[in-house]
Each structure stands twice: as C-alpha cells, then as structure tokens.
C-alpha cells in the first residue's frame, strides 16, 4: 500500500506540474466541460426538447467535434462545418428532387450513384495538397450529404428534418464559439507570437551553450560519439529546445492557419494581420538553427582541435558568438514587444567582431606552418594567439610524432583509454604535454570501425602513422570549420534581420529610434 500511495503521489505531482507549466490546459478542459454542460441543458430542460425533439442531440455532437484548443481553430472548424453542411444540403436537395422526378424505379439508382460520386470526389479532393487544411470540411460534406439524401428517401418530411437538424447544429456551434471566445479565450495568434519569440531565444541560448562547451573543455574525454548522436544531451537544455525549433515548422503553420481566422484581439488590433510573415521569419530562423546544429555536431565530433588552439581563439569566438546571440535575442525581443528598435550599431558590432575572428583565423592558418613572420600591418594584436605562438605549435607536431613512434601499432590507445582519468589537475597548471597526450587519445579512436577493420587484417602497420598525422592536421582544421560555421551563422543573421524588418513593416510595429 505504501508503494501505491507513493506512485500515486508521484503521478499527482506530474499532473500538477503539467498543469502549472501551462494553465491554459486546465482552462481549456473546464471550458469544454462547460460547453457540453450548457448544450446538455437544452435537453435536460423540457422547453427546447419539445421544440426540436431528438434532433437536439446533434448540438451535442457539434460541440464535441467543433470545440478546439484555440479560438482560430474553433472558427476554422466551425466554418468548415457550416460551409460543408450548406453545400451538402443544397446538393442533396437538388439531387433528391431530380431523383424524385425520375420515378420510383430509377430513384434509388440515382441516389446510390450520387452517393458513390460524392464519396469519391470529396475523398480525392482532400488529398489535394492545397486543400488538406479543409480535410474536415470534406468529411462533413460527405456524411451530411449521405444523411440528408438517405433520410429524404425514407422520411416523409426530409426538408423539415434537415431544418431541425441544421438548427440544432447551429445551436451547438454558437455555444461552442461563445464559450470559446468569451471565457478566457486562447488565441492562436498569441500562441504563434510567443512560439516565435521562444524560438529566437532558444537559438540564441543554444548557440551560446554550444560555444561555451566548446571553449571550456576540461581535459576530460568526451563521451563516445556513438552514444551521443541520438542522445538527449541532458546537460544541454538549450540544445534540446533548439532541436525542437527545427521540428516546429508544422506547428507554426497550423497556428498561422488558425490565427488567420481570429478577429483582431489583444495586441493584434488591425485586420488582416500578417500571420504568414511569422511563418516566413520562422523558416529563416530555422536556417540559422541548422548552423547551430552543425556546430553542435562538431562539438560532439570525435575529431577535436587541440585545446590550446581553441583557447588561443577564445576571446574572438566568445565575442562573435555572444554578440550574435545578443542580436538574435534583440530581434526576438523586438518581435515580442512589437517594436522596431534595431540599432544598426549592434549589427555592425556583430560584423566587425566576426571580421576580427576571421582575421584571427587568417593568422592561424600561417601559424600552422613552421617559418612564418607575423605581418607588421595587423591593426589588432592578438594577445592569446601570441601566447600560443608558432614555436608551441611546432612543439605540438614534434611531440605528436614522438608519441606516434611510441605507440607503434595503434593498439596502445585502448590501454590509455582504459586508465581512469579521475584526478585531473586544474586546467591552467596542466602541462602542455599532458594536454597533447589526451588529444592524441581521441585521435587514435577515430574512426573506430575502420581501426577495428584494419586490425583484423593486420597488414596496415606502415599506413597507420601517416593517417594519424593527417588526422592531427585535420583536428586543427576542425577549429577552422567551427569558426566557418559560426561565420556562416552570422551571414545568415543578415537574412534574419531582413525578414524581421519585413515583418515589422507589414505588421506595422512601432518604430523606435534607439
């Protein structure tokens, strides 16, 4: 019994947190309850029942089917239902009259054939890509048509029945709409607005998180890539949010479709508010998020630039990424507050820090080689770069090749990997050699399947050393890749700025001069 009480408590807590996370969920549930209760009163009281008879149950059905989470979606469903019923009704009455005039023998054939045709045509039309949002409408046409024409064949007063049913559907629809709009309305437009702003923040957060992790390598081995490719990355909450941004296109689109049905409300006071622009901005933002995903992939790749190289560029990478993130957040804030305050100053700053990063990388591409004099005309000194000077990088190469000679067959990496790495001295005091040794460990372990394969065959010993060297160099270039992706991210920001600017123009955001 204790276990049961315990798991029950657990369950209650989960439910409670689910409610607290978004109180709209509770509000929505209570509203549905209220709507069906109101419509049931029509039957529980005697007066309306006497008027409509059993047809009144159609109003319950309507409420249950029409009541959606947001106001826009409810309107959309209602519209589908109303137009569908109307079309079906007109068609059914017309075909019914036609069938009736042909006489008793032909009548059932005509009716049957028309049902077949309507069934086939509506089903075909709802597969058509541009008509899929109205899928529900086609369903309504189909069954309303069937109901009316078939009832008309059996019931003596088809028109009266149809009218009664239409009235009760109308009552159900009105109850659903009134409850949905008047009691704590949940606007699709508001949700779309918030969703987009959140996407901006999550892209900015995950960029910063990714760069921070990239730079703060603590000398410990990364978890194996094989285990983390599909992982949830529990220590990277922003990444998960960003990943969900990538899959949010369908959500944004359906919210935009719903939002178009909503009357002006709250902050969105003018008619024909450009909700589709939100979807476009979301798409451009997604293209930025692809770059963040690529950066994240690099962060968890097994080929890593030596830590000292990353450390050398720390300032530049940090600055560029944090300013880019700030710009993204600033754009998100502008949308959130529906104003247009972007000072080009910020954009300029992002560009100039990105250029400084490029300058630093330029320097580095020469540092990699042995005999290179830094140019005298470089306007900005790179303090950290000089600290990881060319001499050091030379050492790196020498030490690595020494290490390679010490590990003749590529088998020893396994042993090194198995030693527990519990007592790691703090970063700054760790010897250069130590760092390099760790680095080489990772290099040995890539690509794991290939190494195994070669080991099986056993005849590739002379090949192994050049391969390592190649990898070492590629490892250094992985930093260049990281920065290139970062630069590409910044380049895409221009498009994002443009898209947000477009949105703010079309949606008539307040202009604020900063």
- Within residues 64-103, the interface with its own copies by CB under 8 A covers 64-65, 67, 69
With H, G, I as helix, E, B as strand and everything else as coil, classify residue 510.
strand
Neighbours of 372 (CB within 10 A): 12
Check binding of 392 to its own copies (CB under 8 A). no
Q: Minimum distance between the CB of residue 476 and its own copies, rounded to whole angstroms?
A: 7
8 A C-beta contact, residue 19 and residue 26: yes
Give Cα 477 distance to the centre of its chain: 30
Q: Minimum distance between the CB of residue 422 and its own copies, rounded to whole angstroms?
A: 28
Q: Minimum distance between the CB of residue 333 and its own copies, rounded to whole angstroms?
A: 20
Contact set for its own copies, span 179-238 (CB under 8 A): 225-226, 229-230
**Would you give the binding string for its own copies spanning residues 486-505, x where CB under 8 A is met?**
-xx-xxx-xx-xx-------
b/e burial code for range 466-476 (CB count within 10 A of at least 16 → b): ebbeebbeebb
Q: Minimum distance between the CB of residue 483 and its own copies, rounded to whole angstroms?
A: 8
Burial label, 227 (beta-carbon count in 10 A; 0-12, 13-18, 19+):
exposed
* CA neighbor of 206 nearest in space, from 287, 294, 296: 296
Cα–Cα dist 264/275, whole Å: 12
In the list 48, 49, 91, 233, the residue contacting its own copies (rule: CB under 8 A) is 49
Determine which helix (DSSP H) or strand (DSSP E) holds 195, and give its type and residue range. helix 188-215
With H, G, I as helix, E, B as strand and everything else as coil, classify residue 378.
coil
Q: Minimum distance between the CB of residue 254 and its own copies, rounded to whole angstroms?
A: 11
- Please say which residue, 5 or 46, places its beta carbon nearer to its own copies: 46
Cα–Cα dist 69/77, whole Å: 11
In the list 469, 502, 506, 507, the residue contacting its own copies (rule: CB under 8 A) is 469
Q: Minimum distance between the CB of residue 183 and its own copies, rounded to whole angstroms?
A: 13
8 A C-beta contact, residue 202 and residue 235: no
Q: Minimum distance between the CB of residue 474 and its own copies, rounded to whole angstroms?
A: 5
Check binding of 247 to its own copies (CB under 8 A). yes
In the list 7, 10, 12, 30, the residue contacting its own copies (rule: CB under 8 A) is 30
Check binding of 389 to its own copies (CB under 8 A). no
Cα–Cα dist 468/410, whole Å: 9
* CA neighbor of 196 nearest in space, from 35, 337, 76: 337
Check binding of 174 to its own copies (CB under 8 A). no
Determine which helix (DSSP H) or strand (DSSP E) holds 511, and give its type and residue range. strand 510-511
Neighbours of 410 (CB within 10 A): 20
Give the range of 209-217, 271-279, 326-334, 457-465 binding its own copies by CB under 8 A: 457-465
Give the range of 232-240, 262-270, 292-300, 421-429 binding its own copies by CB under 8 A: 292-300
In the list 93, 115, 279, 346, the residue contacting its own copies (rule: CB under 8 A) is 115
Cα–Cα dist 153/150, whole Å: 5
Contact set for its own copies, span 368-387 (CB under 8 A): 368-372, 377-379
**Would you give the binding string for its own copies spanning residues 4-23, x where CB under 8 A is met?**
--------------x-----
- Please say which residue, 478 or 504, places its beta carbon nearer to its own copies: 478
């Amino acid at each position: 019994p204790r276990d049961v009480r315990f798991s029950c408590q657990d369950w209650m807590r989960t439910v409670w947190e689910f409610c607290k996370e978004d109180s709209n969920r509770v509000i929505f549930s209570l509203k549905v309850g209220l709507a069906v209760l109101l419509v049931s009163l029509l039957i529980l009281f005697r007066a309306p029942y006497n008027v409509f008879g059993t047809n009144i149950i159609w109003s319950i059905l309507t409420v249950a089917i029409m009541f959606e989470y947001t106001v826009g979606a409810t309107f959309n469903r209602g519209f589908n239902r109303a137009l569908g019923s109307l079309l079906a009704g007109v068609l059914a009455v017309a075909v019914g009259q036609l069938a009736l005039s042909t006489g008793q023998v032909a009548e059932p054939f005509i009716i049957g054939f028309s049902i077949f045709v309507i069934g086939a045509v509506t089903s075909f039309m709802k597969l058509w890509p541009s008509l899929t949002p109205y899928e529900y409408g086609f369903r309504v046409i189909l069954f309303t048509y069937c109901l009316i024409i078939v009832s008309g064949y059996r019931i003596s007063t088809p028109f009266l029945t149809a009218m009664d049913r239409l009235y009760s559907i109308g009552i159900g629809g009105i109850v659903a709409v009134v409850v949905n709009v008047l009691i704590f309305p949940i606007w699709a437009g508001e949700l779309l607005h918030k969703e987009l702003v959140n996407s901006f923040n999550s892209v900015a957060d995950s960029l910063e998180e990714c760069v921070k992790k990239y730079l703060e390598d603590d000398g410990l081995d990364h978890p194996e890539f094989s285990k983390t490719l599909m992982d949830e990355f529990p220590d990277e909450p922003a990444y998960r949010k960003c990943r969900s941004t990538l899959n949010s296109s369908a959500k944004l689109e359906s919210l935009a479709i719903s939002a178009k049905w909503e009357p002006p409300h709250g902050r969105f006071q003018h008619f024909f508010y450009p909700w589709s622009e939100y979807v476009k901005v979301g798409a451009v933002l997604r293209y930025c998020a692809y770059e963040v995903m690529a950066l994240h992939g690099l962060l968890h790749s097994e080929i890593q630039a030596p830590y000292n190289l990353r450390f050398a560029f720390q300032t530049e990478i940090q600055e560029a990424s944090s300013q880019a993130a700030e710009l993204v957040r600033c754009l998100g804030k502008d949308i959130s507050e529906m104003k247009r305050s972007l000072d080009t100053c910020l954009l300029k700053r992002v560009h100039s820090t990105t250029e400084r990063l490029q300058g630093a990388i330029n320097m580095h591409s020469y540092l990699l080689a042995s005999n290179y004099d830094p140019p005298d005309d470089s306007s900005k000194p790179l303090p950290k770069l000089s600290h990881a000077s060319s001499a050091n990088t030379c050492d790196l190469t020498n030490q690595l090749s020494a290490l390679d000679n010490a590990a003749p067959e590529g088998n020893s990496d396994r042993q090194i990997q198995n030693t527990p790495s519990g007592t790691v001295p703090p970063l700054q005091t760790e010897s250069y050699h130590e760092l390099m040794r760790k680095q080489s460990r990772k290099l040995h372990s890539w690509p794991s399947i290939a190494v195994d394969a070669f080991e099986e065959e056993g005849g590739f010993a002379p090949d192994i050393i050049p391969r390592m060297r190649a990898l070492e160099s590629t490892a250094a270039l992985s930093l260049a890749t990281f920065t290139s992706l970062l630069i590409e991210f910044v380049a895409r920001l221009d498009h994002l700025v443009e898209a947000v600017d477009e949105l703010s123009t079309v949606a008539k955001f307040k202009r604020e001069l900063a």
